[in-house]
Amino acid sequence: MEWLQVEQNWVLTPPKPKGVIHFLGGAFFAAAPHIAYRRLLEKLASYGYVIVATPFANNTFDHGQIAAETYKTFQKARSKLFLDYFPVYGLGHSMGCKVHLLLNCYYNCDRTGNMFIAYNNYSAKRSVPFFKELAVTIPEMAEMEFYPSPEATRDLVDRQYKTRHNLLVRFFDDSIDEITDLSTQLKLKFPETVKVQALPGTHLTSMGIDFNWQAGNSFTPFDAIGQWLKQGVHKNNHTLEQVLLRWLATNNPDRKSIDRSSVAS
């Protein structure tokens, strides 16, 4: 399998697909999901899931706009690749989880289920590096907040989030995720179909890779990501991969066609 760019998405298509995973990465790394999350996404593809990784730039405080753009971009690839007849799962990391929540609230996404890894819904003051320092120089920044705000996002999920099957993954050494809050909220809506899993690792565990990254003739931001990850940042995310695969097998509408024993325990 090779990564192909389809309507601005990065796509992996296995020989005999049984489902589609729409992936959204976290903040800066969302711009190159096929590089920053390569090991995880290729592992999922090897088990028969088409990967549609939609890049987005984190250059706006309007997360609703990002949700709208990623929805349109994904839908174009879904239509072009004739993926309408496969179950679709959302998979997000950090900020990508919030964008998936907004997608499912704003649009009729018809997701079979969603997987949230290290969800983050903090305010701009807590999320944006050097926010306080910049606000001193640019006073207008002091009043800036993400849209929708953390509070508005929680309210939106309460009122409009309809995807019943959800997997929420948190890591033991992650001090900036809000999986616990999200799980409490979703369990009130869907008490029987929300699974929470705590694993060893940190906020960046899902970005582990184990391939020899070679920079091109001209050094690009993508090369910078690859070289940084190559230094050994959380190479072993095997446990995370197995947790996702087991949940996917359990929540596939056509379970009989899946050999669940092939997913290592």
Report the percent of the chain where pLDDT is more than 90: 62
Q: Angle 20-91-241 (CA atoms, 0-180°, nearest 5)?
A: 90
Query: CA–CA separation, 93 vs 30, rounded Å?
Result: 9
Give me the CATH number covering residue 58.
3.40.50.1820
Whether residue 130 has pLDDT greater than 50: no
State pLDDT tens for residues 175-207.
889 999 999 999 999 999 999 999 998 888 888
Tokens of 100: 């998936």
User: Cβ–Cβ contacts within 10 Å for residue 110, how many?
Assistant: 11
Whether residue 256 has pLDDT greater than 50: no
User: What are the distances in angstroms from CA 43 to CA 56, 97, 185, 194?
Assistant: 22, 20, 30, 24
The two beta strands, 49-53 and 88-93, are: unpaired
What's the sign of the alpha-carbon dihedral 194, 197, 198, 199? negative
Whether residue 252 has pLDDT greater than 50: yes
Domain range for 148: 4-262
Query: CA–CA separation, 145 vs 61, rounded Å?
Result: 7
The two beta strands, 113-117 and 4-6, are: unpaired
User: What are the distances in angstroms from CA 192 to CA 167, 186, 187, 189?
Assistant: 12, 10, 8, 9
Q: What's the rounded mean pLDDT across residues 105-129? A: 86
Query: CA–CA separation, 17 vs 48, rounded Å?
Result: 5
Query: CA–CA separation, 163 vs 91, rounded Å?
Result: 13
The pLDDT value recorded for residue 224 is 53
Find out whether the peptide bond into 148 is cis, omega within 30 degrees of 0: yes
Whether residue 230 has pLDDT greater than 70: no
State pLDDT tens for residues 1-46.
899 999 999 999 999 999 999 999 988 788 999 999 999 999 999 9
Counting the structural domains of the chain, the total is: 1
Q: Quickly state the pLDDT bin for 245 (edges 50, 70, 90).
A: very high
